[in-house]
Every structure is written in C-alpha cells, then in structure tokens.
C-alpha cells in the first residue's frame, strides 16, 4: 500500500519536540486559587465534598496567600463565610465583616506580589441564600440589589482589593459598580465580571463550602445551560459597561461558550473550574478509575485551549507544583 509522505508523528517523537510545537501552554501565572475563609474559625474546617479544600481561618488564609506567591500563581479569589446572616446580607458591607477583613489580611501579607480578587455577591451573607435583595413577593429585586453591590464594592475597595468580582448576574451590575467606584476615586480597582454564569448542577460542593442557605434555585438570574449566544451577549454587555476581565462559569461543560466569548471580546477572559468539576476528578481518582495528576493537568489545559487567559481552580497550588516538577 502506498502511503502519502505526511508523517505528523515526527513532531511527537521526543518530549523536547512535543514541547517545541505545543500549541497551548499552562503556567502558574495563569492560575487563580479560590479561598474560603470562615469567621470565628479557630482551625481550618474540611469540606467533605471537596477533598483537600478547607474553610480557612484568618491565619491559615495568610499562610496560603504566601504559598500562592511562592508558587507563582496569578492571584487568589476570596470568599467569606460569616457567623451571622440576614435578609439584606449586611455583613457584606461591614468593614469588620469577614470578607473585607480577609482582603485586608491578604493585602497586608503579600502586598502587590499577588492579585487579590474578591467575590462580590450577597449569597454567602443572606439568610435566604439568594444573590440579591428580595422584594415583597420573594423575588430578587435587580435594582435594589445593585445598590447593595455598589456598597459592597466600595467596602472591598477600601479594604485594598485589586479586582472586585460581581457574580450575581444582575442586569447592569458592572456599570453600576464602575460608577460607584469611580465616584469615590477608586478608579484603580478593576472589575472581573462573572459574565456568562450558568444555572449549573456543578455548584453543589460549593454550597457546602460557603454554608449556603439557599432553598430553591437561581434560574431567574443565572443563565440557562442550553444557551450559548446569550452567554456571548452577556460578556459583550459587560465589556461595554466597563468590565476589565470577563468570566465563563462553569468551565468544562461550557468550553464552547468560552471559545465563543474569547473570539467576541478584546479583554482577558477567565473561566472557573468549579467545585463539581473538581469533585468528580477527585472522586474518580480516589476509586482508582483515573490517573489523578495527569487528569488535573489535562483538565486545566483543556480550559486554556478553549480560550481562557485565566483559570480559577482549586488545584492551583498543586498544579503549579506539578508544572514546576
């Protein structure tokens, strides 16, 4: 049989050749570590559905931030878990609230060696678990919620954050927050917008991680999993409103959306490798069904290949060590 003289395998023959022609790279600087910090915790609290991930104390938070610097990570994303919640999520705007204290702690520990990001959403702070303020009918009131987001952004900016990260999927949230920050001369604080955030089944372990009080779902403000065009539209709206970075969440089930967003906007694009995606790999590896470390790197590389400039992942520290090794 005559074969065409085309042999792509030549460039796969050695590790050096494969490295030379690699189309997609994965580096620690592209990774962001989400970190949970629990108010009043005396020691880290394990999260059963996310093996290896904990709710940190303020002291272990600072230690982890220092480890992130040493590992060369791009940043950390902070989530606060308060001791007390109320209908308005007032702990989110309290300068002495756990998330704002966590921001101050990390900035004091690492300075500008690490990009400090913070989740800007009310769900961890409300007793009903929704991402906004409820109206008399129990529905999320978009415009009243924007007022709360503005106040939350100002509190986080005062604490020293580099990027606020509105994740509630309220209409107009980026424009409102940008206006509020600029009006108070926080023009240097950037916005990483959760632009295409889907109503996903893969958030389950996260709700344990933040002690969520949610009953029901968030389908009236998070996106329908079947909609790709809508995700791109949301990202373009956020860029027009002043977002410095846009995000797709989750990552693995939405790689097509991620790719389309990357092609549609001219700002950096992030993707969140969410808790359920993490938990699936960990559970399969625990049972010996997959080879854990290669699966971690393959997962993160797939997200980069689809177009993410930045990847939020609970494996960030471990992946950085694997890449260095």
**What's the CATH number where 83 sits?**
3.20.20.70
Give the model confidence (pLDDT) of 84-126 as tens digits: 999 999 999 999 999 999 999 999 999 999 999 999 999 999 9
Active site residue 236: no
Active site residue 249: yes
Whether 13 is in a domain gets the answer no
Q: How high is the pLDDT of residue 17?
A: 95
Is residue 1 scored above 70 in pLDDT?
no
Expressed in percent and rounded to 5, the helix, strand and coil fractions of the chain are: 45, 20, 35
pTM: 0.95
Choice among 62, 63, 85, 197 that is catalytic: 197
Whether 16 is in a domain gets the answer no
Distance in angstroms (rounded) separating the CA atoms of residues 303 and 305: 5
Residue 87 DSSP code: T
Choice among 62, 63, 85, 249 that is catalytic: 249
Task: Characterize the bridge pairing of strands 45-46 and 54-56.
Answer: antiparallel
Full residue range of the structural domain in which residue 97 is found:
25-324
Task: Domain count for the chain, please give it.
Answer: 1
In Å, how far are 28, 80, 149, 270, 300 from 186, measured between CA atoms? Answer: 29, 22, 15, 23, 33
Per-residue pLDDT band for 325 (boundaries 50, 70, 90) equals confident
Whether 9 is in a domain gets the answer no
Q: How high is the pLDDT of residue 213?
A: 77
Q: How many residues does the chain have?
A: 325
Whether 285 is in a domain gets the answer yes
Identify the residue whose tokens are 């909609």. 227
In this structure, of 100-114, 120-134, 226-240, 260-274, the range with the lowest mean pLDDT score is 120-134
């Amino acid at each position: 049989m005559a074969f065409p003289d085309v042999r792509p395998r030549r460039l796969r023959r050695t590790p050096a050749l494969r490295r030379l022609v690699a189309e997609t790279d994965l580096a620690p600087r592209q990774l962001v570590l989400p970190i949970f910090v629990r108010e009043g915790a005396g020691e880290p609290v394990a999260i059963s559905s996310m093996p290896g991930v904990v709710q940190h104390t303020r002291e272990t938070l600072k230690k982890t931030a220092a480890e992130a610097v040493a590992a060369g990570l791009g940043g950390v994303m902070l989530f606060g878990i308060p001791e007390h919640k109320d209908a308005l999520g007032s702990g989110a705007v309290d300068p002495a609230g756990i998330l704002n204290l966590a921001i101050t702690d990390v900035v004091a520990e690492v300075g500008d060696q690490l990009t400090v990001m913070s989740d800007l959403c009310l769900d961890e702070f409300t007793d009903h678990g929704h991402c906004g303020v409820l109206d008399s009918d129990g529905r999320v009131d978009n415009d009243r919620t924007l007022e709360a987001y503005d106040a939350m952004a100002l509190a986080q900016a005062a604490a020293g954050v580099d990027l606020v990260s509105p994740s509630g999927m309220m209409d107009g949230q980026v424009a409102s927050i940008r206006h509020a920050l600029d009006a108070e001369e926080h023009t240097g604080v950037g916005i990483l917008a959760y632009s295409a955030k889907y109503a996903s089944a893969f958030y389950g372990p996260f709700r344990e991680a933040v002690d969520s009080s949610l009953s029901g779902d968030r389908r009236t403000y998070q996106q329908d999993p079947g909609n790709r065009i809508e995700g791109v539209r949301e990202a373009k709206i956020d860029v027009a409103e002043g977002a410095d970075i846009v995000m797709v969440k989750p990552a693995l089930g939405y790689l097509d959306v991620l790719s389309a967003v990357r092609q549609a906007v001219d700002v950096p694009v992030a993707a969140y490798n969410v808790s359920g995606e993490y938990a699936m790999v960990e559970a399969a590896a625990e049972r010996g069904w997959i080879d854990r470390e290669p699966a971690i790197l393959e997962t993160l590389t797939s997200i980069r290949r689809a177009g993410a400039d930045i990847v939020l992942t609970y494996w960030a520290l471990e992946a950085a060590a694997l890449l260095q090794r």
